[in-house]
Amino acid sequence: MRTLLVALAAGLVACAPVRGPKPPEGEISLSVEGKVKGGPLYLTRAQAERLPRRSFRAREPVSGREVRFEGVSLADLLQGEARPEKRADVAVVRTRGGTAVAIPLVRILELKPVLADRADGKPVADWAREATLSGEAWLLAWPNLDQPGLDFDPRARWWWAAGVSKVVLESWLATYGKALRVPAGAPDEARRGAEEAELHCMPCHPLRGAGGERGPDLAGVLNGRAPAAFAAAVRPHALARGLPSGPEGEAALDRIASFLRSLQASNPASADEPGEPEEPTEPPPGRPSAAMPPRR
């Protein structure tokens, strides 16, 4: 009997999520970090699969196909094992490829997306390969058929993220709000450029500690170049990452350059003073809070 009790206890420990210092590298499939009550939550694949699950049919935004996605309910996870602290109002979803997408917590709790590991009854990686898409578990999928209004939110298509490895709960003001501050006296074009940089650049590039990890820091990419030279240099890359072509895209590149130039021209020491620069109090209305590039 004692041996049986010891075995049962060991099994329960093995199934329990791990909090505190991160376990050895390579064992963790999914984590929730940042402003989490009780500390970070680390999950092996088996532990994650035991979390509350849900499924729904949705229109995959790149292919336009209707697919049944099944996986871990992110809303249930954030209302159960990984409750946000009071100051947390945004979830930064990070992928193994180094991209990051920031999503207001209220939208996650309202719309109930899933971290999918299955699509049309197949493992996500197998389904994506057959559909000639780039995808792997965990794939953040959204119920845009059950929630028709989701398609009217221009941020929504950018919230799909493949290969999710962690969800980091943060304060918007302390992260993206700080990164996107426009120095006092900057032109309106720079303010609009901050929104464009967030949408088209920060999923892959860091800026003042926020954003992705795939590319160089945005603070140095202008490197003294005139806006026209900057636009010419980054145009092919920007178009591949979803920037509109034609005059609309050219204007967006000019605004991004204006924003980056305003950061370089400001005093870095004063740029973080709370009273001097403007800072957004919430994600810019009608724009992605951070944009995932289309999955190719």
- Are residues 182 and 165 located together in one domain of the fold? no
Q: Quote the pLDDT of residue 287.
A: 42
- Are residues 164 and 182 located together in one domain of the fold? no
- Are residues 179 and 257 located together in one domain of the fold? yes
**Domain assignment of residue 85, yes or no:** yes
Range of the domain at 232: 175-271
DSSP string, 80-101: TTTPBPTT--EEEEEETTS-EE
**Domain assignment of residue 20, yes or no:** yes
Q: Quote the pLDDT of residue 2.
A: 52
**Domain assignment of residue 8, yes or no:** no
DSSP string, 20-82: SS--STTS-SEEEEESBTTS-EEE-HHHHHTS-EEEEEEE-TTT--EEEEEEEEHHHHHHTTT
Q: Which residues touch 253 (CB under 8 Å, ≥6 apart)?
A: 227, 230, 231, 234, 235, 238, 243
- Are residues 146 and 198 located together in one domain of the fold? no
**Domain assignment of residue 54, yes or no:** yes
- Are residues 47 and 94 located together in one domain of the fold? yes
User: How confident is the model over 200-221, as pLDDT tens digits?
Assistant: 889 999 999 999 999 889 988 8
**CB of 16 within 8 A of CB of 47?**
yes
**Domain assignment of residue 283, yes or no:** no
- The number of distinct structural domains making up the chain is 2
**CB of 200 within 8 A of CB of 256?**
yes
Which residues of the chain fall short of a pLDDT of 70? 1-26, 154, 267-296
**Domain assignment of residue 179, yes or no:** yes
Q: Quote the pLDDT of residue 152.
A: 83
Helix (H, G, I), strand (E, B) or coil at 105: helix
Looking at 171, 195, 219, which one is the last position of a domain? 171
- Are residues 196 and 163 located together in one domain of the fold? no
CATH number for 164: 3.90.420.10
- Are residues 163 and 259 located together in one domain of the fold? no
**CB of 284 within 8 A of CB of 191?**
no
- Are residues 82 and 199 located together in one domain of the fold? no
